[in-house]
């Protein structure tokens, strides 16, 4: 029997999810201008929830144990609830470049957490690939120009680190739940809980901030809800049903690459040569963590010839 080396369907789903999530930076930047940050997130979750109304009857037929409910509560608390609060506040205090450095730490946080909680085997190769990818993400973040103001970098970076812990907790919880529940349900429950959770924040902003619901802001928020939340989380939850959380989380390091490309295409930001090099380091780290050891040995032998 031929051994399956790489789950290409799972890998493809992860790459698409990272591309979609990376585009959210442009969407958020465009929508938050006329609207408050919590209002944008609420709108995002509301639009995503509307996409799942049709499936509610199907979801009511599912059976849940107390352990299932506990993991669902933990998953949704981690993300979208706490994750988006920490990240929104972090970006108000630190620069995008510094936040990007902290974001690149998520794969290692997830790998450690998955090893302790899910008892996943973390090989030296996965750790090496993750570390290399993190180094590339840090290099990419440092080389990127940013217009954000770092009002309180220490506070902002601390909040971003807490957001990454929440992101890792979400990935581990979703990995456990994916053995029983479909990606459709896991994505839907995140949207429903997120809409309810962020509603009071949106009401508060509406009564305390001056906001303008422009057509552009509405369309960007709609994109965040339907494409980013529905498509991105759906793809990621699907992949977690096929690939270990520690390996899947390494793909988070693709987000800086796709974000730079999206910013270049949609915002006209130029791509520096050094960012190409940093992107290459990230891709190398991903390849090392995913490729089977005999493939790496074949590549090493080929390069030595």
2 in a structural domain: no
Q: Is residue 1 part of a domain?
A: no
Domain count along the chain:
1
- 222 domain-assigned: yes
Query: Is the residue at 147 inside a domain?
Result: yes
The CA–CA distances, whole Å, from 46 to 42, 43, 154, 221 equal 6, 5, 33, 10
Amino acid 99: pLDDT:
73
* pLDDT tens column, 94-142: 766 667 667 767 776 777 777 777 676 677 777 787 788 778 777 776 7
Confidence of residue 298 (pLDDT cuts 50, 70, 90): low
Instruction: Calculate helix-pair angle for 273-290, 255-267, nearest 10 degrees.
Output: 150
- Cα separation of 298 and 29, whole Å? 44
List Cβ neighbours of 109 (8 Å cut-off, separation of 6 or more): 164, 165, 167, 168
Residue 253: inside a domain = yes
Say if residues 75 and 257 touch (Cβ distance below 8 Å). Answer: no
* Spatial separation of the C-alpha atoms in residues 246 and 122, rounded to whole Å: 8
pLDDT at position 268 is: 67
Dihedral, CA atoms, 183, 83, 161, 287, nearest 10 degrees? 20
Average pLDDT, the chain: 80
- Residue 305 pLDDT > 80, yes or no? no
Q: How confident is the model at residue 66 (pLDDT cuts 50, 70, 90)?
A: very high
Highest mean pLDDT among 42-46, 168-172, 227-231: 42-46
Q: Does a structural domain hold residue 83?
A: yes
The verdict on residue 153 lying in a domain is yes
CB of 241 within 8 A of CB of 160?
no
> Per-residue pLDDT tens for 269-285?
566 677 678 777 877 77
Q: How far apart are CA 132 and CA 30, in angstroms?
A: 32
Q: What mean pLDDT do residues 216-221 have?
A: 91
Residues 264, 260: Cα–Cα separation, whole Å: 6
- Confidence band of 301 (pLDDT split at 50, 70, 90): low
Domain that holds residue 126: 8-304
Does residue 3 form part of some domain?
Answer: no
pLDDT given at position 300: 47
More confident residue, 75 or 155: 75
pLDDT band at 159 (very low <50, low <70, confident <90, very high): confident
Confidence band of 144 (pLDDT split at 50, 70, 90) = low
């Amino acid at each position: 029997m031929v051994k399956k080396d790489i789950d290409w369907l799972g890998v493809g789903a992860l790459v698409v999810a990272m591309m979609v999530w990376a585009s959210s930076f442009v969407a958020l930047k465009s929508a938050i201008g006329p609207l408050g940050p919590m209002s944008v997130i609420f709108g995002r979750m509301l639009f995503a929830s509307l996409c799942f109304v049709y499936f509610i009857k199907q979801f009511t037929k599912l059976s849940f144990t107390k352990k299932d409910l506990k993991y669902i509560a933990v998953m949704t608390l981690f993300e979208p609830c706490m994750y988006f609060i920490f990240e929104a506040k972090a970006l108000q205090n630190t620069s995008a470049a510094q936040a990007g450095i902290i974001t690149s730490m998520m794969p290692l946080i997830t790998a450690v957490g998955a090893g302790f909680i899910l008892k996943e085997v973390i090989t030296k190769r996965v750790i090496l690939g993750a570390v290399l990818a993190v180094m590339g993400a840090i290099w990419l973040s440092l080389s990127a120009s940013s217009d954000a103001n770092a009002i309180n970098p220490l506070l902002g970076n601390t909040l971003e680190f807490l957001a990454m812990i929440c992101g890792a907790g979400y990935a581990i919880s979703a990995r456990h739940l994916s053995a029983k529940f479909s990606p459709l349900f896991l994505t839907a429950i995140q949207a429903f809980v997120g809409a309810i959770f962020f509603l009071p924040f949106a009401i508060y902003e509406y009564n305390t901030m001056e906001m303008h619901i422009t057509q552009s802001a509405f369309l960007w928020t709609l994109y965040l809800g339907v494409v980013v939340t529905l498509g991105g989380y759906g793809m990621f939850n699907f992949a977690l049903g096929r690939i270990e959380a520690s390996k899947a989380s390494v793909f988070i390091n693709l987000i800086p690459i796709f974000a730079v490309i999206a910013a270049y295409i949609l915002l006209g930001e130029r791509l520096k040569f050094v960012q190409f090099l940093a992107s290459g380091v990230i891709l190398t780290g991903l390849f090392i963590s995913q490729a089977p050891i005999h493939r790496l040995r074949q590549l090493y032998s080929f390069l030595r010839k």
